[in-house]
């Protein structure tokens, strides 16, 4: 096999389709492509601090794919695509740490279901990305990896918990990546890093082998620089998993011709979008908050411009649409009930590979990052009796509220004939380090508490050059329509641009 020249393929902002075309016409191989991404990680990640672990087996994997390509052609739609995983998704060949020193040596016996599907599609796992430790928060700080920085301003937060993946993909340290979302984690990180993120409908993507935070809210999702790449990742990740029965609900929801078939450049033409104004503007009222009304206004201005662009592309906008009672929405939080129960079940599933027996033991090591440790204090997470949850009236009432919320949102969308509801995923831009990103300004609960799908798209930049995202929430299993809308907006607006700090390497 001939070796392609190093300058035959432009790496920055390359897409899955670009990789496939370059392999097909001999400009790159899986191995040479991997090497170039590894060179970028070596050059840039000291500044970004997004990568926790590199995969020692990645180069051999790429070589095997190259050999198979010579014999059989592409092994799948992600053949040779360098992919970064959030480090709460099990990998049999690397530690899965959730960013915690206490789990630093935890190597699961098998891949997470979504990781297995990505590898089956031909992906090359470059490594694992930093995250908010245990996924508990929205900063991306961990005892194992420290603090990840925003790709567009190294003095600011990337949001979280999937901030490592988002910052790395934004800086072109991998072609695509994965995150997981309990509340905001595949939505605010892409918003803060000028990316596309998709939170799938509950039941579309398996949770097996993902370090849990809240069983009724957790899901994995794609992070990418383009809507097309997010669709290709979702094609690979979605599917029925007999070990996660909730995926039976989505078994027939994946289009026979895949999500990529719904990439319509005129996807906004004739669409009906409702603006959920109740999620605009500053939501918190703490005097200690690091954000101001001016910060929220800066985000609102960008989102307003995005709404105008959608109208110009043919969408009918209903503004405003009153969606839900925000107090009811917040009263449906169940993480404090489920975290310890679900985490302990995950450890039990690891068997002898588990480094600890419970979340309480992990906490008691004293090795958790201080800002995450402080979130445990007063939350009562370790005081919940998991064995009595099925009889816990407070917990059961919150679950019932979720059913009511989903019914209310879907009814509003049907009555107004809406394809999607629109709002900012965060009401404010990324804050400066060492401040902590305020959770009160994350509009994550509408999707998380109803189980309805959402897509986040680059909406533009503030006057300070900080990325802003716009979120579209759809009906149950309406990912095809959301991708149509997203692709139409992407094509008509063109807001994605790479961060200046992480350009092409001189010797690439």
Distance CA 26, CA 22 (A): 6
Please state whether 369 falls in left (phi above 0), alpha (psi between -120 and 50) or beta: beta
Contacts of residue 186, defined as CB under 8 A and 6 or more positions apart, other chains included, come to 162, 179, 180, 197, 198, 199, 220, 221, 222, 223, 456
Distance CA 216, CA 225 (A): 28
**What letter does residue 436 receive in the DSSP assignment?**
P
Helix axes 393-415, 335-350, angle to 10 degrees: 110
Give the closest residue to 315 by CA, choosing from 305, 307, 327, 323: 307
Distance CA 316, CA 156 (A): 36
Distance CA 437, CA 419 (A): 31
47 near 501, Cβ under 8 Å?
yes
Distance CA 250, CA 267 (A): 23
438 near 288, Cβ under 8 Å?
no
Distance CA 185, CA 4 (A): 38
Distance CA 52, CA 46 (A): 11
Bridge partners for 83 per DSSP: 125, 176
Contacts of residue 420, defined as CB under 8 A and 6 or more positions apart, other chains included, come to 271, 273, 274, 472, 473, 474, 481, 482, 485
Distance CA 31, CA 456 (A): 32
3-state secondary structure of 7: coil
Work out whether strand 141-142 and strand 146-147 pair parallel, antiparallel, or are unpaired: antiparallel
95 near 50, Cβ under 8 Å?
no
Number of helices (H), then strands (E), in the chain:
15, 13
408 near 260, Cβ under 8 Å?
no
Distance CA 224, CA 128 (A): 16
List residues with catalytic annotation: 86, 161, 185
Cα 209 vs. chain centroid, distance in angstroms?
Answer: 16
Distance CA 347, CA 163 (A): 24
Distance CA 298, CA 321 (A): 22
332 near 401, Cβ under 8 Å?
yes
């Amino acid at each position: 096999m001939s070796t392609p020249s190093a300058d035959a393929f432009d790496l920055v902002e390359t897409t899955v389709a670009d990789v496939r075309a370059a392999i097909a016409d001999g400009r790159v191989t899986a191995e040479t492509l991997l090497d170039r991404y590894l060179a970028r990680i070596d050059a840039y990640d000291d500044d970004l601090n997004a990568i926790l672990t590199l995969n020692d087996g990645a180069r051999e994997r790429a070589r095997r794919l190259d050999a198979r390509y010579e014999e059989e052609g592409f092994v799948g739609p992600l053949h040779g695509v360098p992919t970064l995983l959030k480090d709460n998704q099990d990998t049999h060949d690397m530690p899965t740490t959730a960013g915690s020193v206490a789990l630093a040596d935890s190597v699961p016996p098998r891949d997470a279901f979504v990781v297995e599907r990505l590898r089956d599609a031909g992906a090359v796992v470059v490594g694992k990305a930093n995250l908010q430790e245990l996924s508990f928060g929205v900063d991306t700080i961990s005892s194992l990896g420290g603090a990840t920085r925003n790709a567009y301003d190294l003095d600011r937060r990337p949001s979280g918990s999937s901030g490592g993946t988002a910052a790395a993909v934004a800086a072109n340290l991998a072609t695509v990546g994965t995150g997981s979302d309990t509340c905001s984690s595949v939505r605010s990180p892409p918003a803060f890093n000028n990316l596309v993120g998709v939170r799938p409908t509950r039941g579309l993507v398996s949770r097996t082998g993902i370090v849990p935070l809240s069983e009724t809210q957790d899901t994995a999702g794609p992070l990418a620089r383009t809507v097309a790449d997010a669709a290709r990742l979702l094609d690979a990740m979605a599917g029925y998993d007999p070990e996660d029965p909730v995926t039976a609900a989505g078994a027939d929801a994946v289009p026979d011709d895949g999500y990529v078939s719904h990439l319509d450049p005129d996807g906004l033409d004739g669409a009906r979008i409702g603006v959920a104004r109740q999620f605009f503007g500053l939501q918190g009222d703490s005097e200690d908050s690091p954000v101001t009304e001016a910060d929220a206004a800066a985000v609102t201005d960008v989102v307003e411009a995005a709404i105008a662009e959608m109208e110009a592309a043919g969408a009918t906008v209903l503004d405003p649409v009153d969606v839900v009672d925000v107090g009811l929405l917040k009263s449906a939080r169940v993480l404090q009930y489920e975290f310890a129960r679900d985490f302990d079940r995950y450890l039990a599933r690891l068997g002898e590979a588990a480094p600890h027996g419970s979340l309480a033991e992990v906490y008691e090591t004293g090795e958790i990052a201080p800002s995450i440790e402080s979130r445990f204090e007063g939350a009562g997470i370790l005081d919940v009796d998991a064995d009595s949850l099925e009889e816990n009236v407070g917990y059961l009432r919150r679950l019932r509220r979720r059913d009511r919320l989903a019914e209310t949102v879907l009814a509003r969308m049907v009555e107004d004939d809406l394809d999607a509801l629109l709002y900012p995923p965060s009401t404010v831009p990324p804050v400066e380090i060492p401040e902590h990103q305020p959770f009160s300004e994350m509009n994550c609960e509408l999707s998380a508490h109803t189980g309805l799908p959402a897509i986040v798209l680059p909406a533009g930049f503030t006057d300070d050059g900080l990325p802003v995202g716009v979120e579209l929430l759809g009906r149950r299993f309406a990912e095809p329509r959301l991708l149509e809308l997203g692709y139409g907006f992407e094509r008509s607006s063109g807001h994605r641009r790479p961060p200046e700090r992480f350009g092409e390497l001189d010797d690439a």
